[in-house]
């Protein structure tokens, strides 16, 4: 009988786990501004969301590299992985959505003018998905590195721009005005792109079909993110003015009406 091997306990300093994960740094980032214990839940969940925003940006930039190399299968694998991240991100709304108005108000003043729409990483998420807006750079002017990064991203192709360019290189008739458009502007639906996706779904290659479905799953999870945000806000504060002076529910309702990768939804009517 072999004797069980005991785990190594003494590393003569920090543990390899700490060196790799920097857990003590993460757990030292929470600073409550009120005495209400519910604020800690809100703060930690918000920080978790920020980490997921950064992870999504990393994954979608990786997918862009793979699309530019015409490695569609690798891009699909990366996009599928990011969809799982989005599911976990969306689940983070649940504890916040269960707060009553009185519970949220117990620490809301601690937020001051802070609001989620000021998140630089979330702005990267929107820009990478094609939801471009130069006016949304304004809240970030006081943080030069963040502002410069977002300004550069505004002028770069979105994930969907790279998808359409890859479809063009596959021989599909993506119109020139779409390929050569001003990528700093929000993407607008195009009838010819819709026809291309309809053809892919009618009988295109398996790789292109898988690409379309991976993008649709991401679009669906992003729509769910926006809708869950709307419901959590409506439930915790009704139609009051949002934190940071935003229009609150009215602003979020407007955002939920927009779809990313729009032709992937409308093309299904013609298959």
Binding-site residues sit at: 108, 229, 243
Alpha-carbon distance 264 to 267, whole Å?
6
Q: What angle do CA 12, 16, 19 make, to 5 degrees?
A: 105
Which residues are CB-contacts of 235 (< 8 A; sequence separation ≥ 6)?
Answer: 97, 99
* Distance of alpha carbon 83 from alpha carbon 100, whole angstroms: 30
User: Taking every pair of C-alpha atoms in the chain, what is the biggest distance, in angstroms?
Assistant: 73
Q: How far apart are CA 85 and CA 72, in angstroms?
A: 20
Compute CA distances 37 → 33, 93, 101, whole Å.
10, 18, 15
Do 238 and 105 contact (CB within 8 A), yes or no? Answer: no
Q: Residue 188 has what DSSP assignment?
A: -
Annotated binding site for substrate: 108, 243
- Binding residues for heme are 229
Sequence-distant (6+) residues with CB within 8 A of 2 are none
Q: Which of 116, 111, 117 is nearest to 133 (CA)?
A: 117
């Amino acid at each position: 009988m072999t004797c069980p091997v005991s785990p190594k306990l003494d590393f003569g300093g920090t543990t390899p786990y700490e060196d790799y994960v920097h857990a003590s740094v993460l757990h030292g980032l929470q600073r409550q501004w009120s005495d209400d214990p519910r604020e800690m839940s809100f703060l930690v969940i918000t920080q978790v969301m920020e980490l997921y925003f950064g992870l999504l940006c990393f994954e979608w930039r990786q997918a862009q590299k793979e699309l530019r190399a015409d490695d569609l299968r690798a891009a699909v694998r990366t996009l599928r992985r990011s969809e799982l991240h989005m599911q976990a991100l969306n689940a983070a709304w649940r504890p916040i959505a269960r707060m009553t108005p009185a519970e949220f108000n117990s620490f809301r003043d601690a937020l001051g003018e802070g609001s989620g729409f000021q998140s630089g990483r979330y702005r990267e998420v929107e820009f990478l998905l094609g939801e471009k807006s130069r006016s949304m750079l304004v809240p970030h002017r006081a943080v030069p590195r963040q502002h410069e990064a977002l300004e550069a991203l505004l002028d770069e192709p979105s994930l969907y721009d790279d998808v359409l360019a890859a479809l063009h290189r596959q021989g599909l008739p993506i119109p020139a005005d779409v390929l050569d458009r001003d990528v700093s502007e929000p993407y607008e639906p195009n009838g010819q792109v819709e026809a291309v996706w309809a053809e892919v779904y009618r009988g295109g290659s398996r790789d292109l079909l898988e690409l379309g479905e991976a993008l649709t799953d991401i679009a669906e999870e992003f729509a769910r993110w926006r809708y869950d945000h709307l419901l959590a806000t409506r439930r915790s504060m009704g139609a009051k003015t949002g934190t940071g002076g935003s229009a609150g529910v009215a602003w979020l309702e407007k955002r939920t009406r927009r779809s990313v990768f729009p032709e992937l939804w409308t093309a299904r009517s013609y298959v």
